[in-house]
Structure 1
């Protein structure tokens, strides 16, 4: 007998999100994390993209917002050395929330534990082996080494994934030579902020607001108010840094000196972080009973998308793993995790690789490319398109071409029910699939009733309904649609096929 239904390796945002989602689906996960406690080393500084919509559909967004430094920051998004200004859009396709990763992990840890997950910190995985029924994991614990077994193992253990390496899953791609450094520092008296926002620095003269390119790299600063400013450098170095080694203020000062060619006085450091960009994607997200998610499965060569992508990996995977463990999964269901999330990863790599092309050029042709791109972003459709691409809001899983909603994130319709007003988001807080009848289609409700042990059946009305009925998966993606006034002879067999494809065989008569 297994010691846990699922073992998750890594208690970062992806692993903790997966643990919580598995608990909602009735599965008992064990999380193994090599670090003894949540670390305060600065990493990601916020959430952005479609994961915020998913958190809202789970009823968690208000809780996360209450812990945020800024739940609604201005949406001027850096994109490969230019800025995409979404502030004037009436409805932006991209939303963001400022929250340090350490605080985010504490919230996700609290949620997972409250739902019943077991999290062991200071427990490092040293070996993985599997057969047709079980995965055995060797663990170095705080006291003694031990073994633990499980039906499935998920590696959420980051860029240097031990699980990925032990399983032998190739991780091809590129490590870029550029090293990014960010410091939030107090402003010394010797630095003067001019009325136009520029800085006047003894020995360096005037440093313009925004980005300054030199032969040695890129310098940028912002937010020089309230006693602090954010300072940023990029320079190419033939060194690969260890993420566990924190950056020091002397290292940061030396980088600024190299890029600017002189000393910029920096005060006390409130935050220091360093990162390098990699462009990598695992050749497969699954090897037998071992799966990968988050940075263990993909690395993006730009900021602002990795957390969104990894946490959504977890949401996609959790209900499919639960179906396998609870023995109702149809054939091939778990395989759709690789198909869908590798596709989503490729979409994220598309826009982040485009950012590489924009930011790494240092000749007149590259300057012209950035200028033309910035001019295109004056047009609202272009801004909206790029914003949706960054957010992942334009994602449509392949394989559903019969209706434009199939494969997309379910629209949050306002619903009138016999219990009062609710919304699509309000139906998905328990992470269960939903059959939603919007047109009084008893013929279709009767069919869905054969899956009532797995699928919630709800009836509602909505203004300007987009369809007669929707079948929505636990990850909030639309699995099937009955078009407005679609006849029963086409809608009914398609519904049976979709229910069987995603949720297995129907109940036996009298079951």
Structure 2
């Protein structure tokens, strides 16, 4: 069989890749060796930037409400037990002054991974993605024209021929290993055991704290849906021992506790030295393994990988862009993963027991979610002197950053104008005339100051909602300037 893009791996990153590709009209097939999502979810809590991406594809209303979206689960304290004495609170980002800047039209999504994945999978199928569970890729080979994979489901092995392959096949990634792509970072740190259980403990979440470092026991946190997970030292536990540990962590033994499942987790930190080779690209844990943190860098960064790659693959497959555009995937996403790695170890978040903390600068969470900078041939004007991340108001529409959120009308954000092709934000008919020959949609916006523009300026927004180029004022020849900026950024070559 033939497909345009073959995705290997049906976790959050792989399923998101299938979703975003299908939404852009790409013929995509996904194969996943497991029959469904893991009964022991890792990720819980998706930041507002991911919420924006899901809003764009029409999923915002389908996501279940959760207390986690109101901030639960992010605050952490050391305690003698859940009901016992609480000691110091540890902060992910140093407490900042209250700001009246609204960064996004959406909020984070507090849904566990095993509930998020089916939502993404169903939407991808609805949009035309061919998702094949219980199907394993046995081997693959690439040539100048595409990739040939041998896969097997319930029956005999068969071949799939694809133009491109997206490997979202986990932190051990057989695809990455076959390509010989090495990794850099802290590497293996430790192994933990876990027990997932259900118990009526909502009354202990009223103050907004949802993570507890329990003295002499382990780490206790909630999924916000009645389920909790207790992380323990790595050894074998009998069920009575697990119950004893749970009761010790809770601080009482008179509750009905249902043990759902157990797990064994390898905690490591590494970033692939290349995010692609030829017609094969890495995404999610295959590209970067980042320890669980309150920055939400694991699943969220993987979903954003998929989003960045999807529009570029779609543009190349339709002939709108040259294949050189795909080189910008590594140039843009790998530095973000490396920055996330640094941010995890620059903080006191439970991982520095394995080594020295990173003494690099800390970036505010809103800067990491909404204000990372892309430097690549698909961006004009993002020089090496700029910081890797800042708050959106500090960027003020800088090329290489996510286009800012401003309300256009009640219920409609500037972000709702983007992601369906190239857009020119301006408020002058001369720019409208300049955009027409390029098949770039002109969108007049009154609040140009949020984009760092004068009343005569313009910003060129890419299909992923990032600023590719801007003219802060009206140039002598706006048509020529815009055409050159569009030609360069859409091709990914200078």
TM range (shorter): 0.7 to 0.9
1-structure distance, mates of 2:373, 2:18: 25
Map residues 2-81 of structure 1 onto 2, 5 A cutoff. 3-64=2-63, 66=64, 68=66, 70-74=68-72, 76-78=74-76
SS at match of 1:37: coil
Q: Measured at CA, do residues 265 and 178 of structure 1 come closer, stay the same or move farther in structure 2, by a change above 3 Å? A: farther
Equivalent of 1:456, from 425, 441, 451? 441
The reply on whether 1:433 has 2:441 as its aligned counterpart is no
Q: Higher Cα Rg: structure 1 or 2? A: 1
Q: Measured at CA, do residues 187 and 476 of structure 1 come closer, stay the same or move farther in structure 2, by a change above 3 Å? A: closer
Equivalent of 2:171, from 144, 159, 168? 159
Q: Measured at CA, do residues 38 and 284 of structure 1 come closer, stay the same or move farther in structure 2, by a change above 3 Å? A: same
The reply on whether 1:317 has 2:309 as its aligned counterpart is yes
**Residue aligning to 2:402:** 409
Residue 350 (structure 1) shift: 1.3
1-structure distance, mates of 2:98, 2:74: 10
The reply on whether 1:295 has 2:285 as its aligned counterpart is yes
**Residue aligning to 2:370:** 393
Q: Measured at CA, do residues 409 and 317 of structure 1 come closer, stay the same or move farther in structure 2, by a change above 3 Å? A: same
Q: Provide TM-score, normalisation by structure 2.
A: 0.77
**Residue aligning to 2:386:** none
**Residue aligning to 1:83:** 91
**Residue aligning to 2:85:** none
2-structure distance, mates of 1:163, 1:97: 31
Residue 68 (structure 1) shift: 4.3
1-structure distance, mates of 2:48, 2:366: 8
1:468-506 CA-partner distances (Å, limit 9, x unpaired): 2221111111111121xx13237554422320023349x
2-structure distance, mates of 1:69, 1:270: 21
1-structure distance, mates of 2:155, 2:191: 40
2:20 and 2:310 in contact (8 A); partners too: yes
2-structure distance, mates of 1:74, 1:89: 20
2:167 and 2:173 in contact (8 A); partners too: yes
Equivalent of 2:154, from 126, 137, 142? 142
The reply on whether 1:277 has 2:285 as its aligned counterpart is no
Q: Provide TM-score, normalisation by structure 1.
A: 0.75
Residue 135 (structure 1) shift: 0.6
Residue 42 (structure 1) shift: 2.5
Q: Measured at CA, do residues 221 and 165 of structure 1 come closer, stay the same or move farther in structure 2, by a change above 3 Å? A: closer
The reply on whether 1:502 has 2:489 as its aligned counterpart is yes
Q: Measured at CA, do residues 358 and 102 of structure 1 come closer, stay the same or move farther in structure 2, by a change above 3 Å? A: closer
Aligned residues: 446
Q: Measured at CA, do residues 149 and 219 of structure 1 come closer, stay the same or move farther in structure 2, by a change above 3 Å? A: same
The reply on whether 1:332 has 2:319 as its aligned counterpart is no
1:183-216 CA-partner distances (Å, limit 9, x unpaired): 444379xxxx9xx99xxxxxxxxxxx943445xx
Q: Measured at CA, do residues 272 and 502 of structure 1 come closer, stay the same or move farther in structure 2, by a change above 3 Å? A: same
SS at match of 2:274: coil
Q: Measured at CA, do residues 123 and 210 of structure 1 come closer, stay the same or move farther in structure 2, by a change above 3 Å? A: closer
1-structure distance, mates of 2:403, 2:33: 37
1-structure distance, mates of 2:421, 2:135: 32
2:37 and 2:114 in contact (8 A); partners too: yes
162-171 or 91-100: which moved more?
91-100
Q: Measured at CA, do residues 87 and 180 of structure 1 come closer, stay the same or move farther in structure 2, by a change above 3 Å? A: farther
**Residue aligning to 1:201:** none
Residue 143 (structure 1) shift: 0.8
Equivalent of 1:100, from 112, 127, 136? 112
Residue 397 (structure 1) shift: 0.9
SS at match of 1:119: strand
**Residue aligning to 1:306:** 298
Residue 393 (structure 1) shift: 2.2
Map residues 440-451 of structure 1 onto 2, 5 A cutoff. 440-442=428-430, 444-451=431-438
2:325 and 2:491 in contact (8 A); partners too: no
Unaligned stretches of 5+ residues in structure 1: 198-208, 242-246, 371-375, 377-381, 506-511
Residue 140 (structure 1) shift: 1.8
2-structure distance, mates of 1:93, 1:387: 12
Unaligned stretches of 5+ residues in structure 2: 79-88, 384-395
SS at match of 1:312: helix
Q: Measured at CA, do residues 178 and 254 of structure 1 come closer, stay the same or move farther in structure 2, by a change above 3 Å? A: farther
Residue 220 (structure 1) shift: 4.3
1:73 and 1:97 in contact (8 A); partners too: no
2-structure distance, mates of 1:407, 1:392: 14
**Residue aligning to 1:480:** 469
SS at match of 2:91: strand
Q: Measured at CA, do residues 463 and 408 of structure 1 come closer, stay the same or move farther in structure 2, by a change above 3 Å? A: closer
2-structure distance, mates of 1:88, 1:269: 41
1-structure distance, mates of 2:354, 2:253: 23
Residue 83 (structure 1) shift: 2.7
Q: Measured at CA, do residues 274 and 421 of structure 1 come closer, stay the same or move farther in structure 2, by a change above 3 Å? A: closer
Q: Measured at CA, do residues 88 and 130 of structure 1 come closer, stay the same or move farther in structure 2, by a change above 3 Å? A: same
SS at match of 1:489: coil
Residue 252 (structure 1) shift: 3.8
1-structure distance, mates of 2:113, 2:154: 25
